[in-house]
């Protein structure tokens, strides 16, 4: 029963991969909580994947969409609502969406189709919550300006280390202070690999194969292994938290591809832990940005991260040093981060 | 030069102790940052301490106020603006304040004068940022209702473990999830004492005396040592983050007064660290609340907190496990937390 104080939000979910489908699942599992605690009712009026889209103004059944995806069916097969082959932007335009969830597979080459989809939504005055990094890395300032012009929100707390509220911490909890240094372990695949090498004595190849077997690493793990994923997240932090207009090329990147078991063991003998560290160091009025393997001393909080953890450390002038970490062994917290942004964008009761 | 886009906020600071005076100092030191980054200009139109108040619609000089306090002068001695002996509520009413900063010394008995001051401000439609815990512990629901009725904000992120954004994390970043467990080391005095006992072999009495010498512990340290300060913070978390109407009596409290060096050493031999742990454990639809010394296993993130650190760990259903800690060796981060709330309440550009 819909109470008079419940606000209905018509949502379009672009991308039904690991994060997108879990977000759709949360729309069902958290339905009672959303209504009771926040006075919100989310209606899935459209969803899109590589097969096309499904559009239904009365709402698709989230559980049905999740079941189809788990059965490896394209959402365009949804009975009575399917639009096989319909391009993403067209599907969004054809739906009565009031909020776009952007969770299409990210790429750092052209960030499509997510980038055009976000542009179209913002231009039409539709707020956007994105877990997808590519659009933010390639076009941060343009998208923020578009959102401002339309007077709508662009939220992306799930884009920098899953459920870890890196951006929220930096922008809101450190407001009024100056950030002197940001240190992050933002990529869980490489953290898993380096931790396995250090603790189980696995070779790089063995650890990577295990990460792929577990579904953490992609079939093509180069974004993770070559430090590009971590660098992409650092670019987003630099733009949104440090207020520094930043592109990927501003980051000195060295991945873990050439790390040997002997290097890891040597660090360990010195009481250190090798981590792929994303780093922003203040230099005058600017920041120097890098991603590279660093042998952290044992007492450094990031040195102790477990395989499925990610963390960030902010050194400030007036707010002391703040550290946060998340243990997230699967993509659900990233989907939950998308949901927290939805609640934030739509307003809480 | 005031640009057209700068918003002027007239602030009244109640309480010029450790936190209040540092907040006033930040009004000066962060002036350029506040204007440039957030489009805000804070004007100190009133300040109050045990001597009375000072009121000036054109604004008191923050640096002068800080200097007076450091010279142990009452603010009612401020030339041309002083109101010796004027009661706090009267001073607030006599000033053109648009925002109240409540930083009077807290007490858990009747929370005065802070509680009446906050009531008066909210009733008059003046938003409040409080670092003072007493009013929130004794009258949380009443104050929240008053704020809602007046349509103004009541912010208190600095009330639970200084600059550590415990409440913000719980309310904002875990929105949409269910919190299953909260573990906190919320009191730095007792953390300092227990860490000294464990690492320097100091007796309880020696460690407490050192904490008092350093100005961390109060002359009457019982609020810290008997677990009341930690319990007060847990009450605020329970009300604001867990949504559980809670009073101090709901918390089972055991402080560290009876902890012996032998107990600390015994824990250490087992690879554990004794910490005064604030705990909320979900039981059905409710939470069981306690503050007591707990021997945490070495791998527990809170076990490793250094003397000046405080931390919180949230276990959730959909957002994984999130941990945050702050290193704050002096009261400045608490004052900075008040400032971040001011920025949040006043809106950012």
| Model pLDDT for residues B92-145, shown as the tens digit of each residue | 999 999 999 999 988 899 999 999 999 999 999 999 999 999 999 999 999 999
Q: Residue B211's pLDDT is what?
A: 80
Q: What is the 3-state secondary structure (H, E, C) of B100-141?
A: EEECCCCCCCCCCCHHHHHHHHHHCCCCEEECCCHHHHHHHH
Q: Are strands A52-55 and A321-327 parallel, antiparallel or unpaired?
A: unpaired
pLDDT at B1: 41
CB–CB contact A320 B177 (8 Å): no
DSSP string, A189-229: HHHHHHHHHHHH---HHHHHHHHHHTTSS-SSTHHHHTTHH
User: A166-327 in CATH: which number?
Assistant: 3.30.360.10
Give the pLDDT confidence score for residue A219 in this predicted structure: 66
DSSP-assigned states of every residue in B147-163: HHHHT--EE-GGGTTTT
Report the phi/psi class of residue A187: left, alpha or beta, with left for phi > 0 and alpha for psi in -120 to 50.
beta
Residue B327 touches chain A, beta carbons under 8 Å: yes
In SS3 terms, B57-85 reads as CCCCCHHHHHHHHHCCCCHHHCCCCEEEC
CA distance B307 to B195: 6
Q: Where are the domains of chain B?
A: 2-163+332-346, 166-327
CA distance A339 to chain B (A): 6
- pLDDT value of residue B209: 87
C-alpha closest to that of B97 among B158, B54, B132, B140: B54
When scoring A320, A341, A342, A345 by the number of chain B Cβ atoms within 10 A, the one with the most, hence best to mutate, is A320
With CB atoms and an 8 Å threshold, state whether B326 touches A329.
no
Partner-chain contact B176 A342, CB within 8 Å: yes
Q: Which CATH class is domain A2-163+332-346?
A: alpha beta
Question: Any idea of the CA torsion for A333, A335, A338, A342, to the nearest 10 degrees?
Answer: -110
* Residue A293 contacts residue B307 (beta carbons within 8 Å): no
Nearest to B323 among A30, A321, A325 (CB): A325
pLDDT in tens, B213-229: 777 676 678 999 999 99
CA atoms within 13 A on the CB side of B223: 19
**Residue B292 contacts residue B252 (beta carbons within 8 Å):** yes
For residue B342, the chain A residues in CB contact (below 8 A) are 176
Q: Do the chains contact at B319 and A175, CB–CB below 8 Å? A: no
So which residues of A are the catalytic ones? 233
B348 touches A: beta carbon within 8 Å? yes
Query: 3-state secondary structure string, B210-223?
Result: HHHHCCCCCCCCHH
Strands A82-84 and A52-55: antiparallel
Q: Find all residues with CB under 8 Å of A297, minimum gap 6, and list them.
A: A271, A272, A303
Segment A292-297 shows an average pLDDT of: 97
Distance (Å) from the alpha carbon of A85 to chain B's nearest alpha carbon: 33
Chain centroid offset of residue B233 CA: 8
What digits encode the pLDDT tens for the residues B278-330? Answer: 999 999 999 999 999 999 999 999 999 998 899 999 999 999 999 999 998 88
Nearest CB neighbour to A172, from listed B168, B320, B327: B168
Question: What would the two tokens of residue B237 be?
Answer: 């978390």
Neighbours of A123 (CB within 10 A): 12
- Please name the residues between 178 and 207 in chain A that touch chain B, using a CB distance below 8 Å: 178
Give the nearest partner residue to B319 out of A29, A329, A333, using CB atoms.
A333
pLDDT tens by residue, B7-56: 999 999 999 999 999 999 999 999 999 999 999 999 999 999 999 999 99
Q: Do B164 and A321 touch (CB under 8 A)?
A: no
pTM value is 0.95
Given a contact cutoff of 8 angstroms between Cβ atoms, the answer to whether A271 and A232 are in contact is no
Strands B82-84 and B52-55: antiparallel
Q: What is the mean pLDDT of residues A85-97?
A: 96
**Average pLDDT in the B248-269 region?**
95
pLDDT (tens digit, 9 = 90+) per residue, A215-260? 767 667 899 999 999 999 999 999 999 999 999 999 999 999 999 9
CA–CA distances in Å: residue B149 to residues A230, B70, B241, B329: 46, 39, 21, 38
- As a whole number, mean pLDDT of residues A287-315 equals 95
**Residue among A162, A318, A339 minimizing CB distance to B333:** A318
Per-residue pLDDT reduced to its tens digit, B55-107: 999 999 999 999 999 999 999 999 999 999 999 999 999 999 999 999 998 88
Which H or E run includes B328? none
Q: How many CB atoms lie within 10 A of CB B95?
A: 23
pLDDT at A19 over 50: yes
Contact between chains at B326 and A323 (C-beta distance less than 8 A): yes
- Taking contacts as CB-CB distances below 8 angstroms, the residues of chain A near B320 are 162-163, 326-329, 332-333
The whole-number pLDDT of residue B218 equals 67
CB B43 within 8 A of CB B59: yes
d(C-alpha A284, C-alpha A290), whole Å: 17
Taking contacts as CB-CB distances below 8 angstroms, the residues of chain A near B34 are 176
Q: Does A141 touch chain B (CB under 8 A)?
A: no
Q: Output the six-digit token pair for A305.
A: 């991260």
Residue B271: how many other CB atoms lie within 10 Å: 11
Distances (CA, A) of B133 to A232, B39, B93, B159, B324: 41, 29, 22, 6, 21
Hey, which bits of chain A come out as E strands? 7-14, 40-49, 52-55, 82-84, 99-102, 128-130, 154-155, 179-185, 251-253, 272-283, 286-297, 309-316, 321-327
Compute the count of residue pairs across chains A and B with CB atoms less than 8 Å apart.
143
Residue B85 φ/ψ region, left for φ over 0, alpha for ψ in the -120 to 50 degree band, beta for the rest = left
């Amino acid at each position: 029963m819909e109470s008079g104080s419940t606000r209905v939000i018509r949502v379009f979910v672009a991308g039904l991969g690991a994060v997108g489908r879990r977000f759709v699942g949360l729309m069902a599992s958290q339905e009672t909580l959303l209504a009771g605690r926040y006075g919100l009712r989310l209606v899935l009026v459209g969803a899109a994947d590589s097969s096309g889209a499904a559009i239904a103004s009365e709402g698709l059944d989230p559980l049905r969409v999740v079941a189809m995806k788990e059965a490896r069916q394209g959402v365009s097969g949804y009975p009575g609502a399917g639009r096989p082959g319909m391009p993403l932007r067209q599907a969004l335009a054809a739906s009565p969406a009031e909020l776009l969830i952007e969770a299409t597979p990210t790429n750092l080459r052209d960030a499509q189709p997510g980038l055009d989809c976000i542009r179209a939504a913002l231009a039409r005055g539709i707020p956007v919550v994105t877990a997808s990094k590519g659009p933010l890395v390639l076009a941060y300032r343009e998208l923020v300006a578009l959102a401002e012009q339309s007077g709508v929100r662009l939220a992306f707390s799930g884009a920098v280390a899953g459920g870890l509220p890196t951006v929220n911490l930096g922008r809101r909890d450190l407001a009024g202070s100056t950030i002197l240094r940001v240190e992050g372990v933002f990529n869980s695949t490489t953290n898993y690999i380096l931790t396995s090498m250090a603790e189980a004595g696995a070779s790089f190849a063995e650890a990577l194969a295990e990460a792929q077997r577990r579904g953490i690493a992609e079939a093509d793990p180069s974004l993770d292994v070559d430090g590009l994923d971590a660098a992409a997240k650092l670019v987003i932090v630099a733009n949104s938290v440090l207020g520094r207009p930043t592109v990927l090329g501003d980051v000195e990147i060295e991945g873990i591809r050439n790390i040997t078991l002997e290097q890891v063991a040597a660090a360990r003998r010195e009481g250190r832990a090798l981590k792929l560290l994303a780093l922003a160091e203040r230099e005058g009025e600017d920041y120097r940005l890098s991603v590279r393997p660093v042998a952290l001393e044992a007492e450094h909080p990031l040195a102790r991260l477990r395989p499925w953890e990610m963390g960030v450390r902010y050194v400030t002038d007036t707010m002391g040093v703040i550290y946060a970490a998340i243990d997230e062994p699967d993509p659900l917290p990233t989907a939950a981060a998308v949901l927290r942004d939805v609640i934030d964008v739509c307003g809480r009761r």
